[in-house]
């Protein structure tokens, strides 16, 4: 890995996520996990094609206000869950400076508490 390449801290904090596919009217919600400044992962009830764009809103008691962004489905895979048979990785495409700062503080606070089971760095 290049020394100039930024790495993002990713925490397994559970967040509530609502989203809407930009090309349609479908609105849904889920619980995000493995969140970083670059994106996050969510379990899904239905398959959303890779490359699909979503308007997302991330909420948590540890966030002063919801973080709103546009994200792209980067990958999707099947799971062994009948209730949530898919899991997708979302990459943030648009995230305001204020939202990015809120998200960074949320992630740093979560990591600093040391109670988070899943803390790692992603490229």
Greatest C-alpha distance within the chain: 43
Which residue, among 49, 18, 47, 17, has the nearest Cα to 35 in the 3D structure?
Answer: 17
Q: Under CATH, which architecture does the 12-113 domain have?
A: Beta Barrel (2.40)
Which secondary-structure segment (H or E) carries 97?
helix 97-113
Q: For every one of its 123 residues, what pLDDT tens digit does the chain have, with 9 covering 90 and above?
A: 334 344 555 555 567 888 888 876 666 667 777 788 888 888 888 898 999 999 998 888 778 888 899 999 999 999 887 888 999 999 999 999 998 888 888 888 877 776 544 433 333
């Amino acid at each position: 890995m290049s020394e100039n390449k930024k790495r993002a801290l990713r925490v397994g904090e559970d967040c509530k996520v609502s989203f809407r596919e930009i090309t349609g009217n479908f609105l849904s919600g889920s619980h995000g996990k493995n969140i970083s400044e670059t994106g996050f992962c969510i379990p899904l009830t239905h398959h959303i094609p890779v490359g699909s764009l979503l308007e997302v809103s991330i909420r948590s008691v540890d966030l002063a206000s919801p973080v709103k962004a546009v994200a792209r489905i980067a990958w999707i895979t099947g799971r062994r869950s009948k209730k949530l048979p898919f899991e997708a990785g979302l990459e943030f495409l648009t995230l305001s400076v204020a939202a990015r700062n809120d998200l960074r503080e949320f992630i740093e606070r979560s990591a600093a508490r040391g109670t988070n089971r899943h803390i790692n760095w992603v490229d």
